[in-house]
Structure formats: C-alpha cells, structure tokens
C-alpha cells in the first residue's frame, strides 16, 4: 500500500497519483513473487485492473517454486457487480478468481463463469469472510497472497487477523482532503503489533516492510 505524509491512501480516488517509479518497481516485484493477487471489486473498478502478466525476470524463480507463469487475480465481490467484458476476465494468462458469498445472484455467477472466471464461495449470505477466503485460496494451492486493497478490503483482513505482513510506501506528499487511509472498515478490539523488518529510502519516499509478531 502507499500513503501520503498526512495519511491519504488515494488522490482523486486512485493510488497512482501518490505513487512513484520505485514504488511501482516494488509493486511489480511483489506481484512477481505472489501466487495470487487479492483485490476488492471497487478497486478493480476505480483502478482499471488488468490481468497480471508473465515477466521474464521472475520466470525461473516462479518455475522453481512450482508457480504458474503469472499470479492469478482474485476479486472479492459479494454482489459480482462487475464488467465481465474487461480484459481481466476475457484475456488473463491465468483465469481470474471471484471470491463471493453463498447467496450471490445465480445469474451473476453464470455470467462470471461464462466469461471464463472461476467463482469461489468464501462466505455465507452476501458477505465474504477474509479467513475463509484465505483458506479457500490455499485449497487451490495459493498460499502466498498479495492483498492490493483497496482500503476497505485491507481493513477487513486486518480486523479478521489474517494479515501477516505489510509493505507500506510513505510518499513525500501532503494532500489534505478526506481521502481514505490504507485500511478502513471495522476496528479491532486490541490493536495488532507489527515489527519493522526493513526500511529503504529513495527521493524522499520511504519503503517499509512490517511483519506481524
């Protein structure tokens, strides 16, 4: 995730304006090592998500780890209110996964499957349970998950206690306004403590990695 100095995770609804070239290289590296990229439906709509691509720099490492040529993208969506004509669904290198609840509308499930996506039930009713989503992805062989947000989805993962590690870029920008923080939604009864693993700097950007104790 990326945040400005005053805590904004977005500018004009998108994270790209507060990012930078090195942040994007780190973003690409994390994708290159992941089994699956987990993202919320609203972020897919706002950021114009596309399928992950195979990258030569990671080909040998992925093959040695028994991974496919590129990570799958898993979209969390209770309603399945998505445009299934987008490249994320029509032309991925690895079929896109849809994490949804058991009460998802049958016509939307059928539309998703017709578009080539794989629907995975990870919750009851119209909700997706983060812990169940993690277990469901593990059952498909995806144990290295990269959660790219947005803030509401990350907040749900935090509240459920399933976030193991946080890679946070602090951008040397001030935006004011009322943008979301990197995590929103339900609060936790007792704040979780993470430990700093690494900290790098370039051109005023701080690139940190924290791990749950």
> What does pTM read for this prediction?
0.89
CA 127 to CA 122: how far, in whole Å?
A: 8
* Under 8 Å between Cβ of 120 and 80: no
The model's confidence at residue 90, banded by pLDDT at 50, 70 and 90, is: confident
- Indicate the pLDDT class of residue 21, thresholds 50, 70 and 90: very high
d(CA 27, CA 50): 14
Amino acid 13: pLDDT = 80
What's the average model confidence in pLDDT over 113-140? 94
Cross-strand pairs, 170: 3, 206
Where do the domains of the chain lie, and which CATH numbers do they carry? 2-212 (3.40.430.10)
Q: What is the C-alpha to C-alpha distance for residues 98 and 10, in angstroms, rounded to an integer?
A: 24
- pLDDT tens for each residue of 146-177: 998 889 999 999 999 999 999 999 999 999 98
- 57 class by beta-carbon count within 10 Å (0-12 exposed, 13-18 middle, 19+ buried): exposed
What is the model's pLDDT at position 158? 93
Q: Structure tokens of 184?
A: 């929103």
Task: Specify whether the CB–CB gap between 174 and 6 falls below 8 A.
Answer: yes
Is the pLDDT higher at 147 or at 189? 147
Reported as a pLDDT band with limits 50, 70 and 90, residue 16 is confident
Q: How does strand 97-100 pair with strand 118-121?
A: parallel
C-alpha angle 66/97/50, rounded to 5°?
90
């Amino acid at each position: 995730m990326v945040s400005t100095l005053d805590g904004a995770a977005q500018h004009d609804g998108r994270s790209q304006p507060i990012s930078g070239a090195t942040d994007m290289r780190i973003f690409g590296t994390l994708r290159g090592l992941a089994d699956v990229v987990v993202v919320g439906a609203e972020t897919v709509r706002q950021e114009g998500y596309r399928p992950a691509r195979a990258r030569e720099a990671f080909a040998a490492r992925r093959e040695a780890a028994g991974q496919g040529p590129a990570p799958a993208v898993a979209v969390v969506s209770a309603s399945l209110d998505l445009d299934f004509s987008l490249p994320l669904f029509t032309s991925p290198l690895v079929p896109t996964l849809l994490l949804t609840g058991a009460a998802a509308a049958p016509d939307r499930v059928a539309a998703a499957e017709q578009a080539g996506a794989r629907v995975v039930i990870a919750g009851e009713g119209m909700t997706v349970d983060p812990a169940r989503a993690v277990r469901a992805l593990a059952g498909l062989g995806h144990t290295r998950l990269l959660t790219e947000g947005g803030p509401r989805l990350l907040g749900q993962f935090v509240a459920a206690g399933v976030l193991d590690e946080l890679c946070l870029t602090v951008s040397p920008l001030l935006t004011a306004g009322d943008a979301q923080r990197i995590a929103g939604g339900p609060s936790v009864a007792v704040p979780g403590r993470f430990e700093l693993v690494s900290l790098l700097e370039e051109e005023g950007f701080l690139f940190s990695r924290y791990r749950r104790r």
